[in-house]
Amino acid sequence: MIGKAMFPPRVHLANTPTPLQKMERLSRQAGVEILFKRDDFTGSELSGNKVRKLEFLLADAREKGADTVITCGGAQSNHCRATALAAIKAGLSSLLLLRTADPGRPPAISGNILLDRLAGSQIVWITPEQYRARDEIFEREARRLHGEGKKAYIIPEGGSTVLGAWGYVDAISELVLDLKRLDGDDLKPTTVVCATGSGGTTAGLALGAQMSGVDIRVVGVNVCDDRDYFVAIIDDICRRFNETWPGARATGIPPYEIVDGYVGRGYALSRPEELAAVRDLVRLEGVVLDPVYTGKAYFGMLAELARDRGVFGERIVFIHTGGLFGLFPIAEQFAELV
């Protein structure tokens, strides 16, 4: 078990524990037991995985006396939307660096952008090239806020930091209790599958699985970049986690796998077959995924299962990490599918 005393300070924002639901029809179709951990239920406006990390990051921001959090992401970033809304609940303001091809002509106010705007976040539009040098822009904006008498706290991309990783260590401790309710004390080996977008969720799951001592295999399906890119990020988070909390009983880099090959047309770009998989799951189970993260990871999981039904063992827990608001800005891409 992962003792609660080990956890860093947090602000309680997420609606947890989230339910673990059996997907009976999907399981029959795939020929393997599939359950969904409904992290899209962490909140309505806060829906998804990011709020689990933000509980720890915003507690740290407050402890450090910050009044404004700065973070970054793609134009329709779920992480930025969750940060903007969670910051309000934690009594803080937010500034978002959002990536778009032409900052002079930012995208329409829809989906997550609408929520960012409703939340009153300051938005700074930046190009993909500027995004690559975002650390400098973070510093520039922090200095500017300082000049206005404010104190900024920088949250790196996706909240995927060593502190944010605790969010998914916590999710594993929840999952162990969920599995005990199903199996009693003799837990079946379980493979957890999630979308990997900036690495923090996968790192937290891997650390949590190792700390729990339970037979949980962690598989991330990357939705951008490639396996090597994420292995470097995740290993680094795990290494620094062990250095920062040597008493947390995570030792060495915990095992995890990244299944590469499902980025498709690129980050936030969908192929018709991915969108069809999202539609089919709605029609089968009444569960809605998002096109950018969970839909791609789910498509990848099904493709792997089609090649080898046993690839993930007897039981799969797919983590539904949210992202629903990302569906609406691409509604017209579904036109021929629905």
Ligand X SMILES: Cc1ncc(COP(=O)(O)O)c(C=O)c1O
Distance of closest approach, residue 333 Cβ to ligand X, in angstroms: 18
Distance of closest approach, residue 65 Cβ to ligand X, in angstroms: 27
Among 99, 321, 327, 329, the residue binding ligand X under the rule CB under 6 A is 321
Residue 52, both tokens: 């689990």
Type of residue numbered 130: Q
Determine whether 77 is an active site residue: yes
Among 208, 295, 322, 329, the residue binding ligand X under the rule CB under 6 A is 322
DSSP code string of 232-294: HHHHHHHHHHHHH-GGG---SSPP-EEE-S--TTSTT---HHHHHHHHHHHHHHS----TTTH
- Residue 36: count other Cβ atoms within 10 Å of its Cβ: 24
Q: Tell me: does residue 161 bind ligand X (CB under 6 A).
A: no
Segment near ligand X (CB under 6 A), from 8-16, 21-29, 140-148, 192-200?
A: 192-200
Among 197, 291, 300, 329, the residue binding ligand X under the rule CB under 6 A is 197
What CA–CA distance (Å, rounded) separates 259 from 299?
Answer: 12
What does residue 3 show for φ and ψ, rounded to 5 degrees?
A: -70, 135
Chain centroid, CA 151 distance in Å: 27
Nearest in space to 13 (alpha carbons), one of 93, 112, 89, 80: 89
Q: Tell me: does residue 116 bind ligand X (CB under 6 A).
A: no
Q: With respect to ligand X, which residue has the nearer C-beta, 80 or 179?
A: 80
Among 11, 14, 43, 49, the residue binding ligand X under the rule CB under 6 A is 49
Count CA atoms within 13 Å of residue 88 on its CB side: 15
- Total residues at interface with ligand X (CB under 6 A): 20
Catalytic member of 27, 44, 47, 77 = 77
Segment near ligand X (CB under 6 A), from 17-25, 30-38, 248-256, 288-296?
A: 288-296
Positions that interact with ligand X (CB under 6 A): 48-49, 78-79, 158, 160, 195-202, 290, 293-294, 321-323
